[in-house]
Structure 1
């Protein structure tokens, strides 16, 4: 009870401890991405004026494809920094903002590379178009699907992280590990109260601890000597119910975030294979002339 009372007496301002600190890198990468895209967009409209029939195989539209492919590989560096090569400079959060903004403008640059084909004109008439020009259309659609799924995942991640932060700020204990420790303390306390008590007393307490019910009721046949202990154990039972709910919500949010990341990483690997095949084959045949 002392732990709970101490937590409940904390000022409201301490709730900010559960928020992720902001990073100035998000504005740096946003500004750099915007400047790069504006420069390429100006170059794109200049190419439309000086070239009668610009297409994906003519300069500078071909260069846009090379830039888009380099950006795809650069955004993949976030996964390397986070999971494999942690010695790389910079914080993981800074790399994440690079991953987000570069991923968004890569779609726009890829559309410039293809002269907005398959989106505003020259639509696919059959499945054969997906494999034309070294899977060019498949690479474009894979990139669009990957970035859109990443945006949805980022919003989903933000939503579930707020759920965890809200629970940590309102349950009076904190995040998942602290809640688990507090639940064990409550279970030990409840077990001590159950020692030597009637079967109904023990049954209600154990059902509450095991989560068989969202509430509890007074035993039907209570011995008079147990009434004082019952009044004392009720607060522990109620705390256990509330903290169990909070722990369940935090675990569910964490599992949803983890499962979505697994799905996104899997899609990223498949998309990267298709995009890399198209990019490498285009470089070999139309740039290096192998």
Structure 2
């Protein structure tokens, strides 16, 4: 078979939690408590990574690293990373259930994909403990993939490593990387898909990369919406995404397009 067999989705910012706000405020809070106040951009930049890797990446940033040195009189250590992560995990678990509502269009799109015979997989920057909260709450609200895996199952190798995608392919019996599509809302998602050699798609509206609440987005003027969407689209394309869609509603038609280019002999590897 030459056509797409399955779609592997990210969770927060792609399928649930418009704007991916569950972790962002917690990152800001724990760093602020440590005397190092990050900007929203610094808190969001590593989004999509395993959360302990996200914290490490923030501390490795030039400004935050220098600020940590100034406040604490030394460079950060791995013990600092572990302590910050422990604080992050505790705070996130306490609030995570409130950020499990499917983004508009998700439930209907999944129904269409399944009617078309596609398998639905998922990867995430969350851990098993976190997903133990997210999965059942999202299911109650109408979204449940066929398979979910975290980096706990891949020896801690989360994004941008490709191994969670490969676990999905194994579980869903997808024989070729060219028969899988990865959909996500962060640069880390794009890198994960490209490293796995699958078709890689960025979704704009509701994304962490866009960084707006649903209310903030829909309050924008049409001109401002176009500007924001163009900015995020360009970021995804510059990161190497094969395709970018505004909303998840466009995905079934995009998959038809991918099937057509595959019939002409194109593969996802050719665009790396």
- Interval containing the TM-score (normalised by the shorter chain): under 0.3
* Bigger proportion of residues as helix: 1
Larger Rg: 1
* Bigger proportion of residues as strand: 2
TM-score (normalised: structure 2): 0.24
TM-score (normalised: structure 1): 0.23
Choose between structure 1 and 2 for higher RCO, CA contacts under 8 A separated by at least 6 residues.
2
